[in-house]
Amino acid sequence: MPERHSPAAGPDPVAARVDARRDGGRVPIRALGADDRAALLGHLLALDSSDRYLRFGYVASDAQIRRYVAGIDFARDEVFGVFNRRLELVAAAHIALAGAAPGEAEFGVSVLAQGRARGIGTQLFERAAVFARNRGLHTLRLQCLSRNAAMMRIARRAGMLVRHCDGESEATLQIPPHSLLSHLGEWLNDAAAEVDFAIKLGLHRDLPPQAR
Ligand SMILES: CC(C)(COP(=O)(O)OP(=O)(O)OC[C@H]1O[C@@H](n2cnc3c(N)ncnc32)[C@H](O)[C@@H]1OP(=O)(O)O)[C@@H](O)C(=O)NCCC(=O)NCCS
């Protein structure tokens, strides 16, 4: 697990890079579209071979990652991301409906190493569950290696039913029916994330090129 930064050591450079600007511990999570394909590709290509193995179940090559990103249908699936103040995508989650049974979706997530153990993976999972709920889905699935301690922790804390087989785990979450409040909460979070992104975009444009 990444070392936690000691407050006595001054400002945390990792926190500064990730800019997981928190509002009561929450990070702004933005829905990505086809315009964000390049950012998503850059994010996934930045994963090392071990993380690629954990994310995809095999050590995806750059070419395989390019094909995967090119194949995402943003009108059908949902992709959520967390940007830092440099507008780098430090975390992304893909909720795939293609290939899933009716009423179900498959969840895949990655957080860059420098942003881990700060709750971002957990919040992306929670965001995915809200998405699934408000789209009328009844089951969210994820597959990962059983030794993936962080992912297993997220799954168990969310109350997922976990089945292990040959070193792999499949976890399923039963999603409750949507409600007016669940839609309102989603709408507020999306609006806050868009405002946060617009602010970062403005600040980024104002920076001299060498500071970007
Ligand atoms: C799995 C992953 C997304 C977790 O992201 P994250 O932002 O670090 O997750 P969180 O900060 O929400 O941490 C989740 C929990 O796991 C714990 N954790 C994090 N890293 C851990 C590790 N290496 N070993 C054990 N526990 C760990 C955290 O402490 C936290 O538990 P807590 O809230 O009780 O303290 C990230 O590690 C990752 O991108 N891994 C590579 C890709 C991958 O494995 N994807 C999942 C398969 S789809």
- In whole angstroms, what is the distance from residue 209 CA to residue 69 CA? 28
Q: What is the pLDDT of residue 211?
A: 67
Q: What is the pLDDT of residue 75?
A: 94
- Provide the residue count of the chain: 212
Q: What is the pLDDT of residue 25?
A: 81
C-alpha gyration radius of the chain = 17
For ligand 1, which residues put their CB under 6 angstroms from it? 1, 51, 54-55, 108-111, 116-122, 142, 144, 148-151, 153-154
Q: What is the pLDDT of residue 5?
A: 38
For residues 111 and 148, is the Cβ–Cβ distance under 8 A?
no
Where do the domains of the chain lie, and which CATH numbers do they carry?
A: 27-198 (3.40.630.30)
Centroid of ligand 1 to alpha carbon of 96 (angstroms): 20
Q: What is the pLDDT of residue 212?
A: 64
Q: What is the pLDDT of residue 24?
A: 52
pLDDT in tens, the chain (212 residues): 333 434 444 334 334 344 444 445 889 999 999 999 999 999 999 999 999 999 999 999 999 999 999 999 999 999 999 999 889 999 999 999 988 999 999 999 999 999 999 999 999 999 999 999 999 999 999 999 999 999 999 999 999 999 999 999 999 999 999 999 999 999 999 999 999 999 998 888 777 777 66
Name, in order, each residue with C-beta under 8 angstroms of 183's C-beta and a sequence gap of 6 or more.
Answer: 134
Coil/strand/helix, residue 204? helix
Q: What is the pLDDT of residue 99?
A: 85
For residues 51 and 113, is the Cβ–Cβ distance under 8 A?
yes
Q: What is the pLDDT of residue 22?
A: 44
Nearest ligand 1 atom to the CA of 150 is 16
- In whole angstroms, what is the distance from residue 33 CA to residue 96 CA? 14
Helices (H), the chain: 13-18, 37-45, 49-56, 62-70, 120-134, 149-157, 180-206
Centroid of ligand 1 to alpha carbon of 162 (angstroms): 16
Q: How far is CA 109 from CA 141, 163, 198, in A?
A: 12, 19, 24
Nearest ligand 1 atom to the CA of 120 is 7
- Enter the pTM of the model: 0.88
Nearest ligand 1 atom to the CA of 1 is 23
